[in-house]
Amino acid sequence: MTKKNEKRSGEEIKPGKKLEVDLGECILCDICVDLCPQVFKKNDADYIELIECDTYPEEDLNDVIKSCRGSCIEWVEEA
């Protein structure tokens, strides 16, 4: 049986956490979409939108968070 937060092939479930993008700080540089298109996409209005995932590619997301030009991506605790 797989434990909830056990690492599996580069992915880790993040119970109680979700990603957020502060669109007010986003400069639409597209780095997040280029580096991690399974989590980030541009919507019809050309704003960054998150694709809801049960698991997240942890290493890719750490790279995206470090590379984000607007420093506007972070993990937040779910209420």
Binding site for ligand SF4 (CB under 6 A): 21, 26-32, 48, 68-70, 72-73
Q: Residue 15 CB, nearest distance to ligand SF4 (Å)?
A: 24
Q: Residue 41 CB, nearest distance to ligand SF4 (Å)?
A: 10
3-state secondary structure the chain: CCCCCCCECCEEECCCEEEEECCCCCCCCCHHHHHCCCCEEECCCCCEEECCCCEEEHHHHHHHHHHCCCCCEEEEECC
Nearer to ligand SF4, 5 or 59 (CB): 59
Q: Residue 40 CB, nearest distance to ligand SF4 (Å)?
A: 6
